[in-house]
Amino acid sequence: MINLPIFPIVIPALAAIILMFAPKQVRLQRVMALGALLVTFAVSVLLVFTVSQDGILTVNLGNWPAPFGITLVSDMLSALLVTTSTVIVFFIVWFATHYFSDAYESNYVYVAMLFLLVGVNGAFTTGDIFNLFVFFEVFLISSYVLIVLGGKGVQLRESIKYLLVNVIASALFVMAVALLYGVVGTLSLADLAQKIPLVENQNVITVIGVLFVIVFGMKGALVPLHYWLPGSYVVAPTPILAMFGALLTKVGVYSILRTYTLLFDTGSFMQTFLIVLAVLTIVIGMTGAIAYNDVKLIIIYNIMIAVGVILYGIALNTQTSLEGALYYLMHDMLIKAALFMLVGMMIGITGSGQLRDMGGLITRFPLFGWTFFIAALSLAGIPPLSGFFGKLLIVQGGVADGDLFGPLLILLSSLFVLFSVIKIFLYGFWGEERRVYDGPLVPYMNRLIVPTLLLVAVAVAYGFGAEAMHPFITQAIEPLIEPEIYIDAVIKE
Partner 1 sequence: MNRKNDQVNDVILQTAAVIIFFIIIMFSINLFFAGHYSPGGGFVGGLMTAAALVLLLLAFDSKTLANVLPFDYRIMTAVGLVIAMLTSLHSIFWDRPFLTHAYDKFDLPLLGEQTLHTAIAFDLGVYLVVIGVTMTIIQTIGESE
Considering the rule CB under 8 A, would residue 151 count as an interface residue with partner 1? no
The smaller minimum CB distance to partner 1, of residues 13 and 299, is found at 13
Stretch that binds partner 1, among 18-26, 90-98, 129-137, 415-423 (CB under 8 A): 18-26
134 scored as a contact of partner 1 (CB under 8 A) = no
Closer of 7 and 340 to partner 1 (Cβ): 7
Find out whether 87 and 458 touch, Cβ atoms under 8 Å: yes
Residue 141 touching partner 1 (CB under 8 A)? no
28 lies in the binding site for partner 1 (CB under 8 A): no
Looking at the Cβ atoms of 132 and 333, the one nearer to partner 1 is 132
Q: List Cβ neighbours of 141 (8 Å cut-off, separation of 6 or more).
A: 115
Distance of closest approach, residue 490 Cβ to partner 1, in angstroms: 14
> Which x/- pattern over 192-211 shows residues binding partner 1 (rule: CB under 8 A)?
--------------------
**Pairwise CA distance, residues 136 & 134, whole Å:** 5
Give the interface segment with partner 1, choosing from 59-67, 200-208, 218-226, 256-264 (CB under 8 A). Answer: 59-67
Per CB under 8 A, the list member of 29, 40, 44, 60 interacting with partner 1 is: 60
- For residue 29, state whether it binds partner 1 (rule: CB under 8 A): no
109 near partner 1, judged by CB under 8 A? no
For partner 1, the closer of residues 23 and 439 by Cβ is: 23
Answer for the pair 384, 463: CB distance below 8 angstroms, yes or no.
yes
| Range in contact with partner 1 (rule: CB under 8 A) among 9-17, 42-50, 286-294, 481-489 | 9-17
Closer Cβ to partner 1, 61 or 461, answer by number:
61
Q: How far, in Å, are 125, 350, 442 from residue 77 at the CA level?
A: 9, 40, 40
Distance CA 429, CA 419 (A): 15
What's the CA gap between 210 and 218, in Å, rounded?
12
Nearer CB in complex with partner 1: 62/402:
62
Smaller CB separation from partner 1, 116 or 304: 116
**Residue 363 binds to partner 1 (criterion: CB under 8 A):** no
11-19, 78-86, 205-213, 338-346 -> range binding partner 1 (CB under 8 A): 11-19
Cα-Cα-Cα-Cα torsion 221, 226, 228, 232, nearest 10 degrees, comes to: 50
Distance CA(130)–CA(234), nearest Å, equals 31
Residue 354, strand partner residues: 294
User: Beta strand 57-60 with 71-74: parallel, antiparallel or unpaired?
Assistant: antiparallel
Q: Say how far apart CA 447 and CA 441 lie, in whole Å.
A: 10
Alpha carbons 295 and 289: distance in angstroms, whole number: 10
Closest CA to 111 of 14, 250, 38: 14
Among the listed residues 59, 73, 300, 347, the single contact to partner 1 using CB under 8 A: 59
Is 54 a binder of partner 1 (CB under 8 A)?
no
Q: Which of 263, 262, 192, 53 is nearest to 491 (CA)?
A: 192
Q: Which residues pair with 73 in a beta bridge?
A: 58
Q: Which residues contact 364 (CB under 8 A, 6 or more apart)?
A: 433, 437
Q: Which of 18, 34, 183, 491 binds partner 1 (CB under 8 A)?
A: 18
Binding residues for partner 1, rule: CB under 8 A, are: 2-3, 6, 10, 13-14, 17-18, 20-21, 23, 59-63
